[in-house]
Amino acid sequence: MSFIFTDAKKYEIIDILPSRRLHHLRDYFLNYSYEARASVKTIVTDMNAPYGSLIKEVFPNADTIIDRFHLSQLVTRSLNQTRIRLFRQSLNYVKIDLSDKKRGLCMIEKTRFNQQQNCWINVNTTQEHDLKTLFATYGIDEEIIGYSLDKNERAHLDYDKTTNTFVFIYNVPNQTKIDNHYETIPMTFIIKGETLITISNDRNHYLISKMAALLKQNETVSVFGMLFNSLLMITDQFFPYVEELNLERNKVSQQLKVKTTKKTLLSLSDLETGIIFFISASKQNVVLLEQIKTHAIYKELDDVEIEELGDVLIEAKQLVEMTQLSVQILQQLSGTYNNILNNNLNDTMRILTVLSVLLTIPTVITGFFGMNMPLPLENNAFGWLITIIISVLVWLSLSFILRKMMNR
Residues 309-364 pLDDT 10s: 999 999 999 999 998 888 888 877 777 777 777 777 777 787 777 777 777 777 77
pTM of the complete model:
0.61
Among 342, 365, 398, the domain boundary falls at 342
Top pLDDT among 132 and 366 is at 132
Residue 142's pLDDT is 72
Strands 63-66 and 42-45: parallel
Cβ-contact 174, 84 below 8 angstroms: no
Among 12, 46, 69, the domain boundary falls at 69
Residues 280 and 387 in one domain: no
Full strand arrangement of the beta sheet holding 165-173 = 107-113, 118-124, 195-200, 184-192, 165-173, 156-160
CATH code of residue 306: 3.30.460.20
pLDDT, mean of residues 260-265 = 76
User: What distances in angstroms separate CA 67 from CA 8, 26, 51, 119, 154, one per listed residue?
Assistant: 12, 22, 13, 40, 16
**54/21 Cα distance (integer angstroms):** 10
Residue 50: CB atoms within 10 A of its CB come to 20
Among 287, 321, 342, the domain boundary falls at 342
Assess whether pLDDT exceeds 50 at residue 35. Answer: yes
Cβ-contact 44, 67 below 8 angstroms: yes
pLDDT, mean of residues 212-237 = 91
Name the residue range of residue 366's domain: 348-406
Q: Quote the Cα angle for 322-173-323, to 5°.
A: 15
Residues with Cβ < 8 Å from 121, sequence gap 6 or more?
108, 109, 110, 111, 134, 195, 196, 197, 198
Total domains present in the chain: 3
Residues with Cβ < 8 Å from 177, sequence gap 6 or more?
none
pLDDT, mean of residues 30-51 = 85
Which segment, 99-103, 107-111, 388-392, is predicted with the most confidence on average? 107-111
Is residue 311 one of the residues assigned to a domain? yes
SS3 275: helix
Is residue 88 one of the residues assigned to a domain? no
User: Which DSSP letter does residue 326 get?
Assistant: H
CB hemisphere CA count around 356 (13 angstroms): 6
Q: Which of 45-49, 253-257, 274-278, 367-371 has the lowest mean pLDDT?
A: 367-371
